[in-house]
Amino acid sequence: MFVSIAGISNEQTYSIFSVTTTALAFALTFLILAITAYIPFSPRPEQAFQRLLKRFFRSCDHVIAATRWDTQKAESKWEQRKLSFHVRDVSTLPTKLAVWGKFIDPEALPGTSPEQVQALVASLQTLSRRLQALLQERDDQQAGILARALRADTRAWHVGVQEGLRNLSSDPAAAREELFRAGLDEIMRRLEAGIRSTMGDVAADQQSDEDFYRLLGTCRSVSESLVDYGASASVIDWDRWKEERFA
- 171 to 67, 95, 120, 177: CA distances (angstroms): 24, 20, 15, 15
Phi-psi region of 188 (alpha: psi -120 to 50; beta: other; left: phi over 0): alpha
Query: What single-letter DSSP state applies at residue 73?
Result: P
Distance CA(47)–CA(84), nearest Å, equals: 26
Dihedral sign (CA 79, 81, 82, 83): positive
The predicted model scores a pTM of: 0.74
Query: Which pLDDT band, with edges at 50, 70 and 90, does 31 fall under?
Result: confident
pLDDT digits (tens, 9 = 90+) for 100-119: 988 888 877 777 888 999 99
Domain 45-242 has CATH 1.20.1440: no
Of 205 and 21, more confident: 21
Distance CA(60)–CA(148), nearest Å, equals: 22
Amino acid at 157: W
Of 86 and 194, more confident: 86
Average pLDDT over residues 210-220: 75
Contact 158, 87 (CB under 8 A): no
Whether the bond into 40 is cis, omega within 30 of 0? yes
Domain residue ranges in the chain? 45-242
pLDDT digits (tens, 9 = 90+) for 138-166: 766 555 566 666 666 777 788 888 888 99
